């Protein structure tokens, strides 16, 4: 994971590039009635920034790939064998290697027909945009 750029860092970098391109365009626009702005050849920076600011849609990690740290609260996708459905639950992994729901302390294990198939960390809390 150390080689991946964080979303926030990517947004900051793209916003800085966009601001610099606008400054360059403004500088050339003073002297040239038809500015040649190379940045317009690339995807719209504001569209990219908007995309990156959206919550990630697929942060699910299969339990076959790895498990979360013990006692760390996470979202889990649970397969209900009896109903042939899946649902999302807030849970944590106990020291026995079993997921336990946070709200009512239910064990999510195959003996009861539940199988945790994937998990993801909880998202960061909402922050108001004070622009």
Provide the whole-model pTM.
0.53
Q: Which structural domain range is residue 42 located in?
A: 7-53
Q: Output the pLDDT for position 61.
A: 93
User: Mean pLDDT throughout 59-84?
Assistant: 91
Whole-angstrom distance, CA of residue 125 vs CA of residue 108: 26
**102 beta partners:** none
Do 14 and 48 fall into the same domain? yes
Enter the DSSP assignment of 109. -
- Residue 2 is assigned to a structural domain of this protein: no
- Cβ atoms of residues 17 and 45 within 8 Å: yes
Using CB atoms within 10 Å of the CB of residue 108, give its burial: 0 to 12 exposed, 13 to 18 middle, 19+ buried.
Answer: buried
The answer to whether 91 and 108 have CB atoms below 8 angstroms apart is yes
pLDDT number for residue 3: 42
The reported pLDDT for the residue numbered 12 is 74
Q: What is the DSSP letter of 56?
A: P
Residues 65 and 113 in one domain: yes
pLDDT band (50, 70, 90) for residue 113: confident
pLDDT at res. 74: 93
Tell whether 80 and 38 lie within a shared domain. Answer: no
Do 33 and 85 lie in a common domain? no
Within-domain flag for 103: yes
Query: Would residue 69 count as lying in a domain?
Result: yes
Same domain, 22 and 49: yes
Q: Is the pLDDT of residue 64 over 90?
A: yes
Domains held by the chain: number: 2
73 part of a folded domain: yes
> What is the tens place of the pLDDT at every residue in 4-46?
556 667 677 777 777 776 676 666 666 655 555 554 444 455 6
Instruction: Check residue 97 and give its pLDDT.
Output: 84
Q: Which of 84, 67, 124 is nearest to 76 (CA)?
A: 67
The secondary structure element, H or E, covering residue 107 is strand 107-108
């Amino acid at each position: 994971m150390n080689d991946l750029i964080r979303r926030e860092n990517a947004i900051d970098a793209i916003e800085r590039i966009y601001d610099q391109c606008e400054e360059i365009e403004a500088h050339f626009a003073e002297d040239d009635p038809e500015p040649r702005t190379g940045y317009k050849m690339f995807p719209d920076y504001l569209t990219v920034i908007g995309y990156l600011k959206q919550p990630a849609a697929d942060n699910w990690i299969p339990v076959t790939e790895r498990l979360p740290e013990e006692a760390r609260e996470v979202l889990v996708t649970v397969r209900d064998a009896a109903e042939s459905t899946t649902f999302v639950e807030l849970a944590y992994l106990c020291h026995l290697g079993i997921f336990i729901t946070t709200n009512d302390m239910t064990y999510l294990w195959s003996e009861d027909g539940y199988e945790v198939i994937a998990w993801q960390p909880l998202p960061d809390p909402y922050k108001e945009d004070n622009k």
